[in-house]
Amino acid sequence: MGAASGSYTTVAGRVRTEIEIERSRFICVLDRVDDEEAARRVVGDVRAAEPRARHHCTAFVIGARGELARSSDDGEPSGTAGQPMLEALRGEGLSDVVAVVSRYFGGVLLGTGGLMRAYTASVQASTRAATRLGRSLRTTLEVHADYERGPSLEAELRRIGHVPLHVEYGTRMRIDVGVPPADTDVFAARIAELTAGAARVSIAATGYVDDPA
């Protein structure tokens, strides 16, 4: 998952895919979530949207190291749905994601192995359709500059690859930039050089942020 190097992969947003196996329909909704509560909201949304489905099987993985993981077979034989779905998410190297597979039974029994393959394939169809998004561990630095230097400083930061996370206009211009935690001193020195010491740099927080598109 890349957490050891300070990065991991999630998805940019919700996707919905459908496959049919032996006349059973498997509809998978894959979505990005930040915590367990958000994951359970997605499950509730899907249940409401597909009320006639026989099963709503679920799996989610949350955290930079995938440290929080849950799955549910929702009435399918034990181990045939939720766990294969969870393994499919992990196999794709994804975290901060939830998958909900709604099954409309087609009248043909698939057996244990068939169910495991079907639920795995359903999740994999959604992971293939999803846009992937990297997240990296960054220290957010607030750069405070006057309006004389602020716009040119923002442009220079973009030019050298530091795309601002946020720009705010107040009594002074504030530019938030995420840098690797080990590079904060180097970055601060660079800002001092670019502004002849006129800009002020302060540390806001360290955490995972979305990589620039």
Band of residue 148 on the pLDDT scale cut at 50, 70, 90: confident
- Count the neighbouring beta carbons within 10 Å of the beta carbon of residue 71: 20
Whether residue 175 is found in the same domain as residue 107: no
One domain, residues 78 and 179: no
What does DSSP assign to residue 212?
Answer: P
Write the CATH number for 37: 3.30.230.30
Q: How confident is the model at residue 86 (pLDDT cuts 50, 70, 90)?
A: very high
- pLDDT for 171: 83
Does residue 104 sit in the same domain as residue 140?
no
* pLDDT, tens digit (0-9, with 9 covering 90-100), for 33-60: 999 999 999 999 999 999 999 999 999 9
Assign residue 190 the CATH number of its domain. Answer: 3.30.70.240
Last residue of a domain, one of 76, 111, 130: 130
Number of structural domains, the chain?
Answer: 2
- The range of the structural domain enclosing residue 152 comes to 136-210
Whole-model pTM? 0.84
Question: What are the structure tokens assigned to 161, written together?
Answer: 């690859």
Rounded to whole angstroms, the Cα distance separating 81 from 114 reads: 10
Alpha-carbon distance of 180 to 198, in angstroms, equals 23
> What confidence tens digit (pLDDT) does each residue in 71-81 have?
999 999 999 99
